[in-house]
Each structure stands twice: as structure tokens, then as C-alpha cells.
């Protein structure tokens, strides 16, 4: 029958496992006896939160870089979240990687460096289709710059005008999660995930090599 994921183990060696103990909020990995080949399925109110030191991954850092192998299921605009961190348990995202709210079948990245900053984001303008794809998003908090990449190609970059240049606030996030990180769980996710890699250091010089390795492993054609 059906199988669900309680813990997605951190492969970095830092022990930041993503764990969901509430059965009704766990993503699905087996459906009617068959493994989901496109990755773990995150739907409405589904997430895998981090805890402990995982809540510090965006504390006093200059970068938030995420590489992901996802099959987005949204064809229009949406508020589905792939990965993010909030600073008060609500919608005040310090880091957000999610569906686009402005362009059909695209994605976005945003956040705030200081807890008191206003949220600002970069909305992708390129369609990702609904195939398994390599979605990459970078925020450089020091330069207030956000950049999106799709299957190895840069598709958008912009200055995040509302952000204060410099490291993020020296405070822990209240919620960090794969899927919907908002504590109320009010937003849908709607994607399959094969892999999500997050760095809080600058990976711009390593990006092409990292993406090439990921693409080779999953059979993704880089553009």
C-alpha cells in the first residue's frame, strides 16, 4: 500500500535531519505499493521540518544557496513552498524558495537579511515545465542579490530592494522546513523532490560543477 517519510536524513554530516512525526503531514514515497519514481511527494500541508542546529542554518550568514531536483506540479501561479525558513513561525520568511506568484509554472526566491526588513523576492519569468528539473536559487545577503537558475542556465537575477546589505540577523529561525515552513501549515506544496542541497556559504564559483554532478546523477539535460 502507501508509504510515507518520517525522516529525510542529512547527508552533510551535520545531523540536520528533516523529521515529521505527525503522520498526516508526512510526504509520500510509495503509492499503492509502487515507489514514486519522480521523488518524494509533498502535497497540501505536508512538510519535513528541521530542528536543533538546523534552525541556525540562516543565522548570521551572508549566503543562502539551494540546489534542488524537483518535479513541480503547479502549472499556474501559486504559493507552494519548496524550502524555507521563517523568523517568527509565520509568513515572515528569512529565506523562501517556492512557486512563483507572478508567472505561470515558474519559481522564485526571496527573504530578508534583518528580522526587521520587509520581505522581497525575485520572481522567475521562465517556465520550468512539470518534468523533473534542476532548480537552483542563490541569495547573497551582503550584496542584496538574488539569482535563479533552471537546468544549469541563469534565468533571472535582481537586487532585492527592501533588504539591508550584510549578514542575516544573529537569531535562529523559528521554523525551517522542506515544503511548507509556516507553522500553521496553511499553504500547499505540490511537488516531488529527489534531492535538496542547501549551503549557507557562497557556492557561486562551484555552481556549474555541482549542477553538472547532479544532472549526471539524475539524467537531467543541462541547457
Parallel/antiparallel/unpaired status of strands 175-179 and 93-99: unpaired
**Residue 99 CA neighbour count, 13 Å, CB half:** 24
Parallel/antiparallel/unpaired status of strands 34-35 and 40-42: unpaired
Q: Which of 97, 90, 85, 67 is CA-nearest to residue 217?
A: 67
* φ and ψ at residue 211, rounded to 5 degrees: -65, -35
Task: Give the N- to C-terminal CA distance of the chain in Å, as an integer.
Answer: 38
**Residue 148 CA neighbour count, 13 Å, CB half:** 24
What's the mean per-residue pLDDT of the chain? 93
What cell does 148 get?
535563479
- Per-residue pLDDT of 191-213, as tens digits, reads 999 999 999 999 999 999 999 99
Residue 99 pLDDT > 70? yes
Q: Which of 59, 52, 76, 39 is CA-nearest to residue 179?
A: 39
Using a pLDDT cut of 70, give the percent of the chain over it. Answer: 96
What cell does 130 get?
512539470
Is residue 12 classed exposed, middle or buried when 0-12, 13-18 and 19+ CB atoms within 10 A define those classes? exposed
Q: What band does 129 get if pLDDT is binned at 50, 70 and 90?
A: confident
- Position 4 scores a pLDDT of 98
pTM check: above 0.75:
yes
Report, as an integer, the average pLDDT of 144-156: 97
Residue 185 pLDDT > 60? no
Residue 90 pLDDT > 80? no
- Per-residue pLDDT of 4-60, as tens digits, reads 999 999 999 999 999 999 999 999 999 999 999 999 999 888 999 999 999 999 999
Q: What secondary structure letter does DSSP report for 215?
A: H
Amino acid at each position: 500500500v502507501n508509504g510515507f517519510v518520517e525522516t529525510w536524513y542529512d547527508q552533510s554530516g551535520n545531523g540536520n535531519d528533516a523529521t515529521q512525526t505527525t503522520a498526516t503531514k508526512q510526504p509520500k514515497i510509495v503509492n499503492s505499493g509502487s515507489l514514486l519514481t519522480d521523488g518524494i511527494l509533498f502535497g497540501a500541508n505536508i512538510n519535513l521540518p528541521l530542528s536543533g542546529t538546523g534552525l541556525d542554518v540562516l543565522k548570521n550568514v551572508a549566503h543562502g544557496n539551494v540546489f534542488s531536483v524537483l518535479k513541480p506540479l503547479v502549472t499556474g501561479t501559486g504559493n507552494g513552498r519548496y524550502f524555507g525558513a521563517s523568523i517568527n513561525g509565520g509568513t515572515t520568511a528569512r529565506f523562501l524558495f517556492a512557486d512563483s506568484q507572478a508567472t505561470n509554472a515558474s519559481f522564485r526566491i526571496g527573504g530578508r537579511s534583518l528580522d526587521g526588513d520587509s520581505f522581497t523576492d525575485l520572481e522567475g519569468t521562465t517556465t520550468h515545465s512539470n518534468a523533473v528539473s534542476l532548480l537552483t536559487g542563490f541569495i547573497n545577503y551582503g550584496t542584496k542579490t538574488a539569482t535563479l537558475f533552471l537546468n544549469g542556465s541563469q534565468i533571472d537575477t535582481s537586487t532585492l530592494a527592501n533588504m539591508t546589505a550584510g549578514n542575516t540577523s544573529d537569531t535562529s529561525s523559528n521554523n525551517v522546513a522542506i515544503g511548507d515552513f509556516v507553522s500553521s501549515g496553511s499553504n500547499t506544496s505540490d511537488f516531488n523532490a529527489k534531492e535538496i542541497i542547501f549551503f549557507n556559504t557562497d557556492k557561486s564559483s562551484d555552481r556549474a560543477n555541482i549542477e553538472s554532478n547532479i544532472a549526471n546523477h539524475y539524467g537531467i539535460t543541462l541547457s
